[in-house]
A = this chain, B = another copy of it.
């Protein structure tokens, strides 16, 4: 018999029936998705072969079948790799360096990238074995903040570098902090928009492929994942966060990158500030050696993640030794030096770091205070994140501007005993009216208690192969 052409519909029917797809089938599907996207932009070839012709409806049907059926670990690695190579990728070879990055599933006040990138860069600048951090980050999404939005509050800081310029910055600074270029992992952009539209966002498999395809497009030797658990995490339960961590670790390892996931608690905002400039401010103070008591959890998290990165890169004998080295690089000022170099290479004005507090210019502030004595017992951290975004730090839809100065300051951590009238949060916004709803949200979500609450440790579990 003649050989039958496998069509995209055959591939989606196979997934519908829970059969395992081959690497070739998954690659064919992803090529078809990208060609469909290019056809809409008018940039596709005139003639698309039947094997690579797909419609939005077929993509949606595939995504729903994938949502319901999941993937084997091998299929997931194939999907991730097909997406990773769907457009241009970063090429690390010119760096002659061990490439390592971190990724967080998203939190509130989680600015650890701003500490980890300069810390690792400082280690990289100190010579063999060479380390580089080709960090491609995202923007504020949902209730979580975005590294790019924070960096862009530094006057002149350009996150939209070409891959060629990114290479130059990495050769000079051993770290670069950029946004996704338009041609990087186009399959993810298309599939994410489709998932958002068809109720297929919350699949751990599709989340893994989305995250890992973008991270692996950085041409990494190693990747450390910060997978959040708790009320501020995207995943609703510890088990689901752990399952996501396992999928990401398996996918990274199958794609040839050493991958470790750290499950960390996100039950309250991390560190002292949540927002955009206020988070840069907090990090600059730490890098200058001024450690505020409320930044302790942030510093611990950064050191643990940096420690794993330094260990995987061969700079430390153990992750614990790596964490100590990371702390040393911060206290010695080496990380701050690397930070200044990095910001300057991105075109950023480092003079604002001289007095970061004075650069903070919210036009309206309000303080939420304890209405009675008691322990700060709990909050829905996701709700706190939404309050921060609604203050102006995040966006209602992609492309909206964000406020540099909106955000909150945390005055107490969970488990702290408060007297009546003690401040809990200070809110910052561009105008008085913007304070109303977030203030009410924060007031409603914070609970005080006569009994000391059980507070989860920050570092919960390590997932690795």
**Interface membership of A248, Cβ < 8 A:** no
In the complex, what distance in Å separates the CA atom of A59 from the CA atom of B199?
A: 11
Query: 1/0 contact trace for A7-27 toward B, CB 8 Å?
Result: 001001100100000000000
Please, how many angstroms separate the alpha-carbon atoms of A158 and B198 in the complex? 43
B-contacting residues, A427-444, CB 8 Å: none
Which of B9, B63, B68 is in CB contact (< 8 Å) with A68?
B68
Which residues of B lie under 8 Å from residue A69 when comparing CB positions?
68
Stretch in contact with the other chain, from A50-58, A143-151, A351-359, A445-453? A50-58
Residues 203-228 of chain A, each 1 if its beta carbon lies under 8 Å from chain B, else 0:
00000000000000000000000000
Contact with B along A420-432 (1 / 0, CB 8 A): 0000000000000
In the complex, which residues of chain B have a beta carbon less than 8 angstroms from the beta carbon of A57?
A: 56-57, 59-60, 194, 197-198
Min CB distance A244 to B, Å, is 18
- By a CB distance below 8 angstroms, the chain B residues around A200 are 16, 61
Q: Please, which residue of chain B has its CB at the minimum distance from the CB of A197?
A: B57
Cβ contacts under 8 Å, A56 to chain B:
55-57, 60
A135 at the interface (CB under 8 A from B): no
Taken together, the copies of this chain in the complex come to 2
Interchain CB contact under 8 A, B55 and A9: no
Number of interface residues of A (CB under 8 A): 22
A63 to B63 CA separation, bound complex (whole angstroms): 12
Inter-chain CA distance A221–B354, complex, in Å, is: 85
Q: Given the interface contacts A68-B68, A69-B68, does A9 sit within 8 Å of B197 by beta carbon? A: yes
Distance (whole angstroms) from the CB of A237 to the closest CB of chain B: 15
Q: Residue A67 at the B interface, CB < 8 A?
A: yes
Bound form: Cα–Cα A179–B78 in Å: 48
Q: Across the interface, which residues of B come within 8 angstroms of A65, CB to CB?
A: 64, 67-68, 199
Q: Is the CB of A9 within 8 A of B198?
A: yes
Supposing A197-B9, A198-B12 touch, asked if A61 and B58 sit within 8 A by C-beta, the answer is no
Q: Which A63-93 residues sit within 8 Å CB-CB of chain B?
A: 63-65, 67-69
Q: Which residues of B are found within 8 Å of A68, using beta-carbon distances?
A: 16, 64-65, 68-69
User: Given A16-B64, A64-B64, A68-B16, do A9 and B199 touch, yes or no (CB 8 Å)?
Assistant: yes
Q: Are B55 and A58 in contact (CB under 8 A)?
A: no
Q: Which residue of B lies closest to A68 (CB)?
A: B68
Q: Is the pair A67, B198 in contact by a Cβ cutoff of 8 Å? A: no
Cα separation A378 to B67 with both chains bound (whole Å): 42
Within the complex, the shortest CB–CB distance from A46 to chain B, in Å, comes to 23
Contacts of A59 in B (CB 8 A): 57
- Is there contact, CB below 8 Å, between A197 and B58? yes
- Contact partners of A194 in chain B: CB under 8 A: 57
A199–B198 Cα distance when bound, in Å, is 17
Complex alpha-carbon distance, A55 and B68, angstroms? 20
Closest B residue to A60 using CB positions: B57
CB distance from A131 to the nearest CB of B (A): 43
Bound CA span A57–B199, Å: 10
- A residues near B, CB below 8 A? 9, 12-13, 16, 55-61, 63-65, 67-69, 194, 197-200
18 contacts between A and B (CB under 8 A): A9-B197, A12-B198, A12-B199, A16-B67, A16-B199, A16-B200, A55-B197, A57-B60, A57-B194, A57-B198, A58-B60, A58-B197, A58-B198, A60-B60, A61-B198, A61-B199, A64-B65, A68-B69
Additional pairs, 12, CB under 8 Å, beyond known A64-B68, A68-B69:
A9-B198, A12-B198, A12-B199, A13-B199, A16-B67, A55-B197, A57-B57, A57-B60, A60-B198, A61-B63, A61-B198, A61-B200
